[in-house]
Amino acid sequence: MSTSTNAPDAATATATGTVTDRLVEANARYAEAFTDPGMDARPVLQVAVVACMDARLDLHAALGLQLGDCHTIRNAGGVVTDDVIRSLTISQRALGTRSVILVHHTGCGLESLTEEFRMELEAEVGQRPSWAVEAFRDVDQDVRQSMQRVRTSPFLLHTDDIRGFVFDVKSGALREVDPAA
**Binding residues vs Zn ion (CB under 5 A):** 52, 54, 108
Residue 54 among known ligand-binding residues: yes
Of 97 and 167, CB closest to Zn ion: 167
Residue 105 among known ligand-binding residues: yes
Of 71 and 104, CB closest to Zn ion: 104
> Which residues lie below 8 Å from residue 136, measured CB to CB, with a gap of 6+?
77, 108, 110, 111, 142
Interatomic CA distance for residues 33 and 16, integer angstroms: 24
Of 41 and 55, CB closest to Zn ion: 55
Residue 70 among known ligand-binding residues: no
Instruction: Please state the closest distance from residue 139 (CB atom) to Zn ion, in A.
Output: 9
Q: In degrees to the nearest 10, what's the CA dihedral of 24, 25, 27, 28? A: 120
Cβ proximity of 71 and 49 under 8 Å: yes
Of 11 and 55, CB closest to Zn ion: 55
Instruction: Please state the closest distance from residue 106 (CB atom) to Zn ion, in A.
Output: 9
- Name the region of 144 (left: φ>0; alpha: ψ -120 to 50; beta: rest): alpha
Instruction: Please state the closest distance from residue 45 (CB atom) to Zn ion, in A.
Output: 24
Of 13 and 165, CB closest to Zn ion: 165
Q: Which of 71, 73, 78 shows the shortest CA–CA distance to 97?
A: 71
Instruction: Please state the closest distance from residue 137 (CB atom) to Zn ion, in A.
Output: 14
Q: How many residues does the chain have?
A: 181
Q: How many CA atoms lie within 13 A of 73 on its CB side?
A: 25
What single-letter DSSP state applies at residue 178? P
Strands (E), the chain: 47-52, 70-75, 99-105, 162-167, 174-177
Residue set of the binding site for Zn(2+): 52, 54, 105, 108
Annotated binding site: 52, 54, 105, 108
